[in-house]
Structure formats: C-alpha cells, structure tokens
Chain A
C-alpha cells in the first residue's frame, strides 16, 4: 500500500518519504498497543507479574503506552516541521 511510484518526480519522492515515516510510526504504535492487548488477551500472567511492592507489569505498561503515544505524535510533528514542511516549501518554488 505505497503511493504510486510510477512517476519519479520530486513530489513522488516526497510523498513516498512521508508515507514511509507515517507508516513506520503507525506500525510502532500498533506493535506497542497490540503487543499489550495480545498479552492481555492470551498471556494475562505476564501482565499480572508483581515486580515490586505495589507495582505490577500491567501498571508499568499502561502509563508507558500512554506516554509513548504522545512521544510518537511529538516525533512526527518534529519531523514534519523540520524536514517535511521545508521540503514542501522548496518544491513550491
């Protein structure tokens, strides 16, 4: 499911670059989330492990996923502002 690569124009190149970054970040989020839900669905014991008094693997994983979602968004915005937008502006000229 990649964007057309029949035309090797600079635009096609940029589109492919954005698509790659977007799908890599999406896949990362999906692996994290479905990894967690997979454990919850099929291997609850892993999440139930108590690692310290008052701390289970589940209670570490949950907030970590929430933080990772934000960090991935921030990474994309940073990339888009620093790399993608300037490239789009350069192409417009």
Chain B
C-alpha cells in the first residue's frame, strides 16, 4: 500500500468536498420552498438528470465490489451489473410516464391518487422507508469500512464525516445541491472508470478478447464462465433476478429524480441517458475486473484485505501510479457520499410529504411548516444513519442491500403497476399488498441462511431440521407473487366504487399531465368522479 494514501487521495477528496460545499452554499439561497427542496423546481435538464440518476444509483459496490468479484471469480461479477441495469427500461416503460404526470414528490402520489390518501400513504411510507433505511445502513457500514481501508481513517470517524457532509448537502442545498453532488460524482466515477479501462486495454492492443484470453491462459477457462461461488443457481437465481429487475424499477430515491426535470419528455430522456451511462460504466468495470485479475492478480488483491474491494484501487496504482490510486480512492469516497445524500433526500420526502403533509395534516400544511418538517426529518435520518452505521460496525450487512431490492420489488412495484393498470384496485388491496410484501421479505430473510448462518453463525445442518427454516436467501420469488395476489384478492373482496370511478380521471392525468389550472392531486385530492384536468 502506498504511503501517500492519506496525502494525495485526501487532497483529491477535500477538493471534491470543498467544491460540493460551495455548490451547496449557492444552492441554499435558491432553496426556500418544498418544491425547490425536493425537486429543484423542475429546472434540471434531462442531460444533467441523466448523470445525476447514474450518480444516485452507482454505489461504491458498482466499482469496488464488482471489480473485486470479477478479479476473484471472473464473469460472475457481471451478473450483478446486468441485474442493476435491466430494471431501468422497465421503470421507463411502466412507471415513469404515470408517476411524472400524476405525482409531485414521491411514488405514493401515484398510488394514493384514487384511494384513501391517509391509509395508502402510510403503507407506502412504510414500504419506502424500509427500502431506504436498509439501503442507507448498508451504505454507511460499507462506507466506514472502505474509508478505513482506503484512507486509514478510523471507522467511526469515517461514518461521522460522511454523515456530516451528507447532512450539510441535503439540509441546506436540498435537491439542487444533491443533484450537483450526484452529477460531479458521476462524471468523476465514469472518467476514472474510462481511464482505468483504457489503461488496461492499452496493454492488450485495445482488444478485449486478448484480455479475456490472457485471463483464461493464466487462471483457466472457468473465469470466462459462470461459476457457483457468488451467483446462485436454480430458483434462487430467478428470485435474485426478480428482486434486481423489479426492485430497481421501484427504488424510491431513483423515482424521486424524475420530478426534477421540466416535463415527462425530459424525464424519459433522462432515464435513457442514465441507462446508457450506467451500462457503459458496467462495461468499464468488466474490463477493470479482468485487467486486475491479469495485471495485479487475485492473490495480491485478496492479501490487501477488504474482501476484494481493493481490486480497482490496486489496479490504478499498478497502471497509473500513486496519483491515480489517490484519485480512484477519492472517487470511491465521493461515490459513497453522493449515494447516501440521495437516499436521505428521498427518505425526507417520504417523511415530510407523505407522512406529515398528507397523513398528519390531511394535505393542508403551510409551506413554512413543511420546510421545518423537511429539515427536522433530514437531521433525524442523518442521525439515524450515523447511529446505525456505528452500531453495525464490522457486521455482515451485505444482505441489507439485497433486502432493500427485495422489498422494493415485492412491496412497491406491484401496487405501483396495479394502481395505473387495474380499475378495481382498492385501498384495502393496496395497503395489504404493500404490508404483505414488506413483512414477507423481512420474515423470510430473518429465517433464511442469510441471517441464521451468515449473521448469527448457526450451522446449516441444525437449521434444516427446524420447521420454520427458509432455505432461500432471496425472498422475491415468494414475496412478489404473494403481494400481487394479496392486492387482487383483497381488492375483489372490498370493492371501492369511488376508486373505480376515478380511474378515468387518473387515466387522463397520465396522458395530459397535471394541467395548468387543475388542482394538484397530491395537494387537493380529486373528489368529483371523472374530474378532468383544465388542459382539456
């Protein structure tokens, strides 16, 4: 490990923090309403939002984690990259159009449109907050460990730094500052990835086949083939696929970003840009992983500690020297910071807009009060993230990411789709579906080897004799159909005439958008059956 790791890389990182803090300072002067706090007043361009979406979604795991898996196991790492990408088109085709045209700040805006606001928003908030909290804690713990590894800063200090920086971004700069943090981070990450991949390919005449061939010669053809170690087989793999695809399509912090552009046209475009950027990045990481396998070697990476996470930084050191090593470490730090900021902001939107404004205050809260609630919620979530992050130091929290995707897939996705496609969806149907999806995921994970063996350290043989033992690690394949079936059965048992009558109004709102003079459904629920936007 180079001695400059706490010099150069910290210098790089400090310049990132200073730049983003300056942006936050500028943004703070423009952040005085909930619209600017949560959506930057829709002034972000499609291109900027595409980068910001990529920044929001690409966590440190996408670079450090996947590169590490590829270095150690070859092809298998790519399976996760693919899973994180294929949800984007589904989100674009099924969810973006209705959500953007009907909603205001959160995904509950769409689900609650025809139904009982109070009940549906409470349930949707439970689903969203479960996703956000698990994802946030997993990110915080990974961040603390990685920063300790990369910079030699103690774990608890690292968690505090990240918590404090993210608090400042979100609290003062809201969506405007968070967007810029994401954009800058995404540019740094893609640039770093591109340079690293190019440096690798330059050793192989810019022919990826030569790189793969070199890997196969050194480590056997197995590195080009799917293995058994990191990727599950059988139905477990299908369950993982469901969670990755439909969970990504219903991630609250990603969906929130479609409100930051001026209209649905820009929302579609930004999702497409993001898909392209994330896709290209995953291809870079494929090259980086194989490059590290051939040029650095899996043994060296394993010896560096951190469960393979040092693969990309060590490759940077080997190919670009200490300055590049410092740069990649700083980019990884910035990446973690940006992801937690985005997650926090979407958690704040759920607490403030769904819970406070629409549940506690029945949709009528003064603007000033909403801003106070938003800021208090920001402090609360940041404090919770830092506290939980510190508590879980050294724990195996990798399952929390999988859990977040499973809950998003089972609790959020079915109701989102049914609310726009099925006239007879009732309040009771939507609420029970979200709760069944969330609880099933949590229970199944709790009783599965993921918790029982990996976290609690029980022996698999003992567990198999228990009736309650769940042999599957990924709950989505059970939880998602169960949640869907619950929505359908309960809705059929509790017909809701008013909800069915509002179906045409919702349909028109999806086609035409909110309309200039029409009361916003998120603020004033449409009461008259078949009420149409003024734009007609």
Contact = CB atoms under 8 A, between A and B. Distances in A.
Contacts, number: 165
Interface residues of A, number: 56
Contact of A50 (B85, B211, B221): B221
Contact of B283 (A12, A40, A63): A63
B210 A37 contact: no
Contact of B224 (A50, A66, A77, A92): A50
B88 A73 contact: yes
Residue in B214, B215, B272 whose Cβ sees the most chain A Cβ within 10 Å: B272
Contacts of B15: none
A66 B279 contact: yes
Interface string B219-240: 0010011100001111111101
A67 B275 CA distance: 9
A44 B226 contact: yes
B78 A88 contact: no
B89 interface: yes
A26 B75 contact: no
B75 A66 contact: no
A73 B86 contact: no
A23 B211 CA distance: 39
Interface range, B side: 35 or more
Interface string A62-73: 110111011011
B275 A18 contact: no
B282 interface: yes
A85 B264 CA distance: 10
B225 A66 contact: no
Interface string B30-45: 0000000000000000
Interface in B483-536: 503-504, 507-508, 510-512, 535-536
Interface string A18-51: 1101110110011011101110111010011010
7 contacts: A1-B417, A4-B503, A54-B215, A58-B224, A73-B89, A85-B265, A92-B535
**Lowest 4 CB-CB distances: which A-B pairs, in order?**
A54-B213, A41-B237, A48-B225, A54-B212
Interface of A: 1-4, 7, 11-12, 14-15, 18-19, 21-23, 25-26, 29-30, 32-34, 36-38, 40-42, 44, 47-48, 50, 52-56, 58-59, 62-63, 65-67, 69-70, 72-74, 76-77, 80-81, 85, 88, 91-92
Given A3-B421, A7-B504, 15 more contacts: A1-B417, A1-B418, A26-B89, A30-B90, A33-B245, A41-B234, A50-B224, A50-B225, A52-B209, A53-B216, A55-B209, A66-B81, A66-B85, A74-B272, A88-B511
